[in-house]
Amino acid sequence: MSRRGLWIGLSLAVVTAVLLFVLAKGFGRDPHAVPFQLRGKPAPDFTLRRLDTGAPVRLSDLKGKPIVLNFWASWCAPCKMEHPVVTMAARRYGQEYQFFGVVFEDTEENARAFAGNPDPSFPQLIDERSRMAVDYGVTGVPETYFIDAQGILRDKVAFPIDPRTMMDKLAALKQPAGPLSEVVR
Amino acid sequence: MTAWVLGLVLASYAPQQAGSALLDPPREARVQALGKQLRCPMCQGLSIADSGSSAARAQMDKVRELVAAGKSDQEIRDYFTSRYGEWALLEPPAAGMNLLVWLLPVLLLVGGGVAIARTMRRPVSAAPSPAAEPEEKLPPSDDPYLEAVRAELRQ
């Protein structure tokens, strides 16, 4: 092969390899999936009002027990399917974990009608103008965040959570931080 | 029935809230410019300034709040990327893997230009005419017609 032919072949091979690499990176992930950037970082503090009593709830006062934050709205159909899963988990594991619902972009009347007033299973919090949701990087509902007893955000589920995933995530919350917190969804 | 369907449809949408109070014109212009750079998490390729979704409105409120608090443009972009990753930026920074997206088209343009220039500069060699080709030594034929044609071609 001539020197010129060798250069052309090499250049084509490099361009093809780069293109394949870029395409593999692009097709290998869901373009709509928003990365969870806060994993392993302290959960942003918040003070929200309870839907039932109006009493303030402050995250920094809750350390010592793992926390589950479930963002939902009455207008969100998947939230309706998911709500019984969170309710059951709160009833069953409420002694070991603190469960909170966070009402996202909804009216209090609609939220009360959805969750019941008071919701006997777990407290619902009102996030005025979704300030706290943006602090947590919420992209829609339902989303569920898992905070360990030290106040570190350990995981997030951005789809209607099922009982198995809920149990896996709860179990991982009690494990030391590390690879165990990355339980498969 | 109609009322039931209408109720179902209306129940599927988030109740709209107005955005937070606008700032003074120069700072509000900053809010809008920053909003144009940030991707709406619930939409397809829309900025939060252009989207009417509730999540985008909440993010615009946050931008306004951060601008009012005296944060710089970079600090505000950092706030969003620390929560949503580089995904939040409609125009990702030209660094790391993103650099390929910026550089590859330039490299291909330059490479193509060089290839075209080299081709144009190369002297065009005259195509060899059939008459210029060395005459083939053919065995003599017994066919008078064929010999006549060959004689014609030799002239």
pLDDT of the residue at B105: 81
Determine, yes or no, domain membership for B148.
no
B83 and B27, same structural domain? Answer: yes
> What fold is seen in the domain A47-181?
Glutaredoxin (3.40.30)
Nearest CA to A154 among A185, A178, A134?
A178
Determine, yes or no, domain membership for B132.
no
Determine, yes or no, domain membership for B142.
no
Residue numbers in A near B14 (CB within 8 A): 73, 75, 105-106
CB-based contact, B58 to chain A, within 8 Å: yes
Structure tokens that stand for B75 in this block: 């600090």
With beta carbons less than 8 A apart as the criterion, state whether B53 and B25 touch: no
pLDDT of the residue at B131: 55
The alpha carbon of residue A122 is apart from the nearest alpha carbon of chain B, in Å, by 23
Determine, yes or no, domain membership for B141.
no
- Per-residue pLDDT reduced to its tens digit, B123-141: 776 555 555 555 567 777 7
- Per-residue pLDDT reduced to its tens digit, A97-114: 999 999 999 999 999 999
Determine, yes or no, domain membership for B42.
yes
Residue numbers in B near A139 (CB within 8 A): 41-42, 55, 84
Nearest CA to B34 among B78, B99, B69?
B78
B108 and B67, same structural domain? Answer: no
B74 and B103, same structural domain? Answer: no
B100 and B74, same structural domain? Answer: no
Indicate the residue type of B140.
P
What residues pair up with A57 in beta bridges, in sequence order? Answer: A48
Please give the ipTM for the structure prediction: 0.79
**Cis ω before A120 (30° cut-off from 0):** no
DSSP string over B11-74:
HTSPPP-PPPPP--HHHHHHHHHHHHHBB-TTSSS-BTTT--SHHHHHHHHHHHHHHHTT--HH
pTM for the model stands at 0.73
Question: By residue range, what is the domain housing residue B102?
Answer: 93-121
pLDDT of the residue at B107: 85
Work out the average pLDDT over B43-56.
89
